[in-house]
Structure 1
Amino acid sequence: MKSAKNRYAVLFGFAALFLVLSFLVRTTLLIWAFPQAGLSFTTILSVYVKGFIYDAGVALFFTIAYAFYLLLLPQRLNNTVFNRVFTYTGFFLALMIVIFSFFAEFTFWGEYAGRFDFIAVDYLIYTYEVISNINQSYPLPLLIGGVLGATALLTWLCNRRGIFRNSFRSNTGFGKRALIFLTLLGITIVHAFLVNNNWADKNKNRYAQELSKAGIYSFISAYLNNELAYDKYYLLQDESTAFAQVRNQLLSPDAQYLENGQSIYRNITDTIPPVKPNVIMVTIESFSADFMARFGNKENITPVLDSIAKEGILFTNMYATGTRTVRGMEALSLAVPPTPGQSIVRRKNNENLFSAASIFRKNGYEATFFYGGDGYFDNMNKFFGNNGYDITDRLRHRLVDDKIASKRTNIPDNAVQFENAWGVCDEDIYKAAIKSADEKYAAGKPFYDFIMTTSNHRPFTYPGGKIDIPSGTSREGAVKYTDYAIGQFLQAIRNKPWYKNTVIIFVADHCASSAGKNEIEISKYHIPCILYNVPNTAPQEIPVMCSQIDLYPTLLKMLHWSYHSNFYGKNVLDSTYQPRAMLSTYQKLAYLETGKMIILSPQQKAQCFSWSQDKSEEQPAPMDSALLKRSVSTYQTAYSLFKNNGMRK
């Protein structure tokens, strides 16, 4: 049915078109997720009802300014060239944004199984990496052409239905226009006050949460709420009680607190003479434990890592603290639990913190952070440069912080055989690290290196002819190339004079995906960690549940170091160690113990779950008050220490 003659015909037509397209997008995502989602009929119905309300809100926010324009536009200007050009142009541009966002939603869902969130907001800041990644992952001319073509087609169809003609030729009086505008404005205000993105999260099923949301709405929500203060939004204990609880949890026979009250600063002692090898930590991008044959994979894509896992020390039950690289960097460098919102790597006032580099530097080591891309991305260079590390990366942004410029070395073009949006291939970053190690050894300096790889990241491209899976075709290919590059790295260093006195760590920053039907899908945080070439230590597997934050306390104990510590991590081989792990999303903070988990969330909420590791099942359970206290005290004190400078050296 063609629209009636009314000045608001274009506005109503756009809103109706947006709602139809949003319905189709939601339905497509539902079909995509359905095999894993476990959704009942009533849940699916709820998804569509909530989804419609979110979509209606987006339609209102998109059109309210145009509604005000139509209210004020004099009747004599309604059918002029000015109004026609303004309306057609505005309609086309708004629809183009909508179409592009829908295209982007499908790619984002494929990567994260969710609607837009703070990751999408962050990506807007780093346009070079993101645009390059899109260009290398998808046929960009076809994508742009498709967006423009779809926008033009839908604009033409709307024009054929007469919505523009009926708007331009209408004679809608001011009183009626005022009534329409005030009605739309009232609904918009009510929607803004009564509906927020957390409304979708009331469903226990994570897929239902994400499918209910609208991508554009979620994006704006993430943009407006990109920081979360623990003491404002989460459950709290008395501060002194919380610190007393944490200090008791962190105490061990070899530890003595150096300060009283609200501090975890302590002295770790060992009576055996220390061993001081070089340490190279290879942090592997997006590397889930289940890529390895040791953890059940049948595709034989990690033969090197599976081999060295048998020769080294393998943590079989380690969990990442989050779902992003910066969260893994935070855990592996600072050994602290995740705090809500952004990783500390990306926050202000994150300089001079107590880090792994602090310990190594105090023992005479050179500490270097190696990254194959531009360390401007995600604030990496500023964080590492101000926390004890020199930097080697690929310089793209010429404006470098003066404080870290002197610490920064660029990977030159002649040292690069392959590079994509995220940086040089893994083989090239290893060559840069080997060159640096040779120079430090020649100068008589022990070294501690933090290498961040990038090849196991979309667009999954790597040098040709290295493995039997073509570049850019699959995640499995990127995993296999990542493993291949590790083999080449080990082969290259085994004849180096410094090799026998060098520990190599292979650990993931996070898993390849975090999607699941549960709010915190525990199995999606399970990562591999291998300590290789540790002096005087036989191959073994460490089966106790632990976290990334426990890596260095455990390694330093194996090396019999005495040192001061501000870490939340513990030596997992200590007789007093109680298995636990800390997992997080942007808003959710989980504290995991054997068989039980607490999830803390905004609005001072806490939920308790039982879980089976073997079956990967989570079920609601009665609240465990003791576990809740341990959870709250851990996260509350970590936030308090960062906020009040208690994490500084």
Structure 2
Amino acid sequence: MIFGKIKPFLYLGGFYVLLSSLLRLILLFHPITTGHFDFIDIIRIFGIGFINDSLVFALASSFLALYFLFLSNSKFHRPWGWVILGLMVLAELYIAFYPNNIFRQYGGVVAELAMIFVGIKIICFALMLFLPKQRRLIRNINYFIIIFLYVLLIILNLVSEYFFWNEFGVRYNFIAVDYLIYTNEVIGNIMESYPVIPLFSVMILISLIVSYLIFRRTKEELEILPNISQKLGLLISFVIICSLGLFFLPKLANFQSKNNFTYELQSNGIERFAYAFSHNELDFFKFYPTLGIQKSEKLFLEDFKPPVLRRKINASGSEQKKNVVLISVESLSAEYLKHYGNQQNITPFLDSLADKSLMFTNFYATGNRTVRGLEALTLCIPPTAGESVIKREDNRNKFTTGSVFRSKGYNVEFLYGGYSYFDNMKSFFGNNGYQIVDRDSFLPQEVSFANVWGVCDEDMAKKAIKVMNAEAKSGKPFFNHWMTVSNHRPFTYPDGKIDIPGDIKSRDGGVKYTDYALRCFFAMAKKQSWYKNTVFVIVADHCASSAGSTELPIDKYRIPAIVFSEGFVKPQKFDGLMSQIDLMPTVFGLLNFSYESKFLGQDVFSDSYVPRAYIATYENLGYIRDQQLTIISAGKKIEQYTLQMEKSNWPDQYNINYKEILTKNQNRKLIDKTIAAYEATSYWLKHKNLDQ
């Protein structure tokens, strides 16, 4: 009996393996597949490919196995049917009306999707509970829908794999993972690039036909439902099969070939996607234009004095061992401050503090994620393709701002109101010599408000004062890096603190509450003995949004950065172009630190500084210099834009327009500079040249 239940899996699996093999054949003769294949290569492509596809489908079919495991008539018997239905209704009410439920904490459409899913389950369960005579019909409809979804996803995935190969000549990689993150841009590109409606119509029609054929040949499996022993056998079988899949798929991925096309063709796209998701570095040397590492190193380092990676920074004045508090503020775009034209008065404290500080008015974030900002402020290196170094496996013993402070006898700590395991922060900072103060460090009485991201910034400010007071008593100077959390979706914070209620969940409210929390922090800090001997550095970790009409809209990457120290740092504005990676080397310069540096950021007040900035997504790597933006992308693509800036009536506010330069007029020198910066950085990271 249990073996009869395997028929749906055999039909679906056979369909998937057949189409996957057909796709391999098509890709083998694709114009982009330029490799030479001998008989052994062909055997590898289709032999190993067949095994890969079979194991991947076995894992993917677990959802169908769960469906069969939960097939039962007994669950509709009294009182269990009523109990289950009641629990489902309570779950729907919880999602729909409880304002801080777990789904709404993440914002977007997550809560709506959860409501739809649970709502459909309620309807189906209720119909089968109250209409027992129609139970078989309803079960057949559900079964057909499941088969249809499997078939549609199989076809959709294989079509997607073809177009991905057509673009990059490889199976899914981190670029495909990136596509999930930038859905608006990707969907827009697909809509403009392909005949989406006809294509989807054909896929749906084929899926309906194939689903009907499979349904007609397997629907008798629902006539007699499996009993407990049969379900146990099915469960054990799938646990074994899935275990084999999880064990052998990584082994098969190690079957490399001298011909990269052979390796890519024998691979399975879904398995490659899962691998890319967990191994988050995009191979620069495989997908981006290169100059050769010797040329890139020389070209990149010529902007440094001396032009070497490890160089001695010699200060001209006496060293100032002042405490340093670096506050990286979540998602604080420049556009939120009055200094950049905002008229909503949502950052009154930061606007007032900026007038008393060294303010960098033409300052750009390296990326659009917190880990990118933390990377830029801690490692002081340009962003590299793929995921931030912070989230990579090899992220320990790097040359960091913390290591410079430690060499000067400082206590070094990272403060975060949430759980620092998120985004691998705990691993990164812990493995690079930082002591960590996070959500786990709080006593219950220290928390007045918290959401999914952590305690509110006001609570973190109070905790930070306690930490700094304790450090001050040690007799050693301290460097504390505090990462705020309140200006992050869902934008909830304590009521009664600002004039925007916390339950509105608006970004403006999140910005204004963080500004209020910083005011509270400085009010408390001013009463401490260590205050006048402290340099405060306030900077955004990244911009609030990076969507725009170009791949890298630089006006969206503009963020505020200020350095404040009463009686030490002279209030002034620095209008020169600079990158987020330059901030901490500039602070070291203000402190007159002499040290050996591997930073790729520079002190903007040094005679050798060359104005430029780096901005990037996971895939697009940008270089701003001499009023031009050069972008290199996967697929060895190069684009270049002229940046036209017009001063507005508001202080420090620029309107930035783009004009694409034709290929024949591209500035080759700036293209080489762009490639050199990213190629050299990628090489040094790969070969641990940027370690301590």
* TM-score of the pair, normalised by structure 2: 0.65
For residues 71-124 of structure 1, give each alpha carbon's deviation from its aligned partner in whole angstroms, at most 9, with x where no partner exists.
xxxxxxxxxx989969xxxxxxxxxxxxxxxxxxxxxxxxxxxxxxxxxxxxxx
Separation of aligned partners in 1, 2:60 and 2:395: 45
- Aligned residue number for residue 642 of structure 2: 610
Q: Assess, with a 3 A threshold, how the Cα gap between structure 1 residues 360 and 151 changes in structure 2: closer, same or farther.
A: same
User: Could you tell me how far 1:550 is from its partner in structure 2?
Assistant: 0.3
- Aligned residue number for residue 598 of structure 2: 566
8 Å CA contact retained: 1:511, 1:525: yes
- Aligned residue number for residue 683 of structure 2: 640
- Aligned residue number for residue 104 of structure 2: 134
Separation of aligned partners in 2, 1:496 and 1:156: 64
What amino acid sits opposite 1:527 in the alignment?
A: I
Superposition pairs of residues 505-524 of structure 1, within 5 angstroms: 505-524=537-556
Q: Which is further off, 139-148 or 539-548?
A: 139-148
Separation of aligned partners in 2, 1:316 and 1:484: 22
- Aligned residue number for residue 673 of structure 2: 630
8 Å CA contact retained: 2:337, 2:347: yes
What amino acid sits opposite 2:291 in the alignment?
A: Q
Separation of aligned partners in 2, 1:198 and 1:462: 48
Separation of aligned partners in 2, 1:208 and 1:339: 21
8 Å CA contact retained: 1:325, 1:509: yes
What amino acid sits opposite 1:417 in the alignment?
A: S
Q: Assess, with a 3 A threshold, how the Cα gap between structure 1 residues 197 and 168 changes in structure 2: closer, same or farther.
A: same
Superposition pairs of residues 395-406 of structure 1, within 5 angstroms: 395=440
User: Could you tell me how far 1:436 is from its partner in structure 2?
Assistant: 1.3
8 Å CA contact retained: 2:105, 2:489: no
- Aligned residue number for residue 174 of structure 1: none
Separation of aligned partners in 1, 2:556 and 2:319: 36
User: Could you tell me how far 1:383 is from its partner in structure 2?
Assistant: 0.4
Separation of aligned partners in 1, 2:572 and 2:285: 42
For residues 27-54 of structure 1, give each alpha carbon's deviation from its aligned partner in whole angstroms, at most 9, with x where no partner exists.
xxxxxxxxxxxxxxxxxxxxxxxxxxxx
- Aligned residue number for residue 118 of structure 2: 148
1:350 and 2:395 equivalent?
yes
Separation of aligned partners in 2, 1:279 and 1:367: 10
- Match among 491, 497, 500 for residue 469 of structure 1: 500
Separation of aligned partners in 1, 2:445 and 2:584: 35
User: Could you tell me how far 1:269 is from its partner in structure 2?
Assistant: 0.3
User: Could you tell me how far 1:250 is from its partner in structure 2?
Assistant: 2.0
Separation of aligned partners in 1, 2:286 and 2:438: 38
- Aligned residue number for residue 450 of structure 1: 481
- Match among 320, 323, 338 for residue 278 of structure 1: 323
User: Could you tell me how far 1:206 is from its partner in structure 2?
Assistant: 9.7
User: Could you tell me how far 1:68 is from its partner in structure 2?
Assistant: 11
What amino acid sits opposite 1:646 in the alignment?
A: N
User: Could you tell me how far 1:149 is from its partner in structure 2?
Assistant: 2.1
Q: Which is further off, 326-335 or 230-239?
A: 230-239
What amino acid sits opposite 2:523 in the alignment?
A: Q
- Match among 557, 562, 577 for residue 530 of structure 1: 562
Q: Which is further off, 424-433 or 572-581?
A: 572-581
Name the SS of the counterpart of 2:321 in structure 1. Answer: coil
Name the SS of the counterpart of 1:615 in structure 2. Answer: strand
User: Could you tell me how far 1:588 is from its partner in structure 2?
Assistant: 0.9
What amino acid sits opposite 2:658 in the alignment?
A: E
User: Could you tell me how far 1:152 is from its partner in structure 2?
Assistant: 6.5
For residues 267-298 of structure 1, give each alpha carbon's deviation from its aligned partner in whole angstroms, at most 9, with x where no partner exists.
00023111121000011001000000110111
Name the SS of the counterpart of 2:559 in structure 1. Answer: strand
What amino acid sits opposite 2:435 in the alignment?
A: D
Separation of aligned partners in 2, 1:82 and 1:637: 54
Q: Assess, with a 3 A threshold, how the Cα gap between structure 1 residues 198 and 213 changes in structure 2: closer, same or farther.
A: farther
Name the SS of the counterpart of 2:291 in structure 1. Answer: coil
Separation of aligned partners in 2, 1:321 and 1:67: 37
1:196 and 2:228 equivalent?
no
Superposition pairs of residues 102-501 of structure 1, within 5 angstroms: 132=102, 134-135=104-105, 137=107, 144-150=114-120, 191=159, 193-196=161-164, 209-213=186-190, 223-226=274-277, 227=280, 228-251=282-305, 256=306, 264-395=309-440, 410-473=441-504, 474-501=506-533
RMSD of equivalent CA atoms: 4.3
Separation of aligned partners in 2, 1:549 and 1:596: 19
What amino acid sits opposite 1:377 in the alignment?
A: F
Q: Which is further off, 568-577 or 446-455?
A: 568-577
User: Could you tell me how far 1:146 is from its partner in structure 2?
Assistant: 3.3
Name the SS of the counterpart of 2:419 in structure 1. Answer: coil
Q: Assess, with a 3 A threshold, how the Cα gap between structure 1 residues 541 and 133 changes in structure 2: closer, same or farther.
A: farther
Separation of aligned partners in 2, 1:325 and 1:189: 31
Q: Assess, with a 3 A threshold, how the Cα gap between structure 1 residues 607 and 147 changes in structure 2: closer, same or farther.
A: same
Name the SS of the counterpart of 2:523 in structure 1. Answer: helix
8 Å CA contact retained: 1:137, 1:472: no
User: Could you tell me how far 1:454 is from its partner in structure 2?
Assistant: 0.1
Separation of aligned partners in 2, 1:524 and 1:620: 18
Q: Assess, with a 3 A threshold, how the Cα gap between structure 1 residues 133 and 647 changes in structure 2: closer, same or farther.
A: farther
- What are structure 2's unaligned runs of at least 5 residues? 1-6, 13-53, 73-99, 142-147, 169-174, 192-268, 646-653
For residues 559-597 of structure 1, give each alpha carbon's deviation from its aligned partner in whole angstroms, at most 9, with x where no partner exists.
221111100111112333221111111111111114211
Separation of aligned partners in 2, 1:378 and 1:449: 19
- Aligned residue number for residue 28 of structure 1: none
Separation of aligned partners in 1, 2:449 and 2:544: 22
User: Could you tell me how far 1:514 is from its partner in structure 2?
Assistant: 1.1
Separation of aligned partners in 1, 2:60 and 2:426: 46
Q: Assess, with a 3 A threshold, how the Cα gap between structure 1 residues 199 and 166 changes in structure 2: closer, same or farther.
A: farther
User: Could you tell me how far 1:153 is from its partner in structure 2?
Assistant: 6.4
Separation of aligned partners in 2, 1:197 and 1:546: 38
* TM-score of the pair, normalised by structure 1: 0.69
- Aligned residue number for residue 586 of structure 1: 618
8 Å CA contact retained: 1:274, 1:559: yes
8 Å CA contact retained: 1:549, 1:569: yes
For residues 282-341 of structure 1, give each alpha carbon's deviation from its aligned partner in whole angstroms, at most 9, with x where no partner exists.
110010000001101110010000001000011111110000001100000000010111
What amino acid sits opposite 1:149 in the alignment?
A: G
Separation of aligned partners in 2, 1:197 and 1:323: 27
Separation of aligned partners in 1, 2:112 and 2:158: 40
Separation of aligned partners in 1, 2:680 and 2:416: 31
Name the SS of the counterpart of 1:195 in structure 2. Answer: helix
User: Could you tell me how far 1:222 is from its partner in structure 2?
Assistant: 6.2
Separation of aligned partners in 1, 2:59 and 2:684: 48
What amino acid sits opposite 2:673 in the alignment?
A: R
What amino acid sits opposite 1:531 in the alignment?
A: V
Separation of aligned partners in 2, 1:84 and 1:280: 56
Q: How high is the sequence identity, in percent, across the aligned residues?
A: 37
For residues 342-394 of structure 1, give each alpha carbon's deviation from its aligned partner in whole angstroms, at most 9, with x where no partner exists.
10001112111000011110001000000001111111011001112111011
User: Could you tell me how far 1:184 is from its partner in structure 2?
Assistant: 9.1
What amino acid sits opposite 1:418 in the alignment?
A: F
- What are structure 1's unaligned runs of at least 5 residues? 1-6, 13-60, 70-80, 87-129, 170-179, 258-262, 396-409
Q: Assess, with a 3 A threshold, how the Cα gap between structure 1 residues 640 and 141 changes in structure 2: closer, same or farther.
A: closer
Q: Which is further off, 598-607 or 442-451?
A: 598-607
Name the SS of the counterpart of 2:655 in structure 1. Answer: coil
User: Could you tell me how far 1:533 is from its partner in structure 2?
Assistant: 0.8
Q: Assess, with a 3 A threshold, how the Cα gap between structure 1 residues 547 and 373 changes in structure 2: closer, same or farther.
A: same
Q: Assess, with a 3 A threshold, how the Cα gap between structure 1 residues 475 and 223 changes in structure 2: closer, same or farther.
A: farther
Name the SS of the counterpart of 2:602 in structure 1. Answer: coil
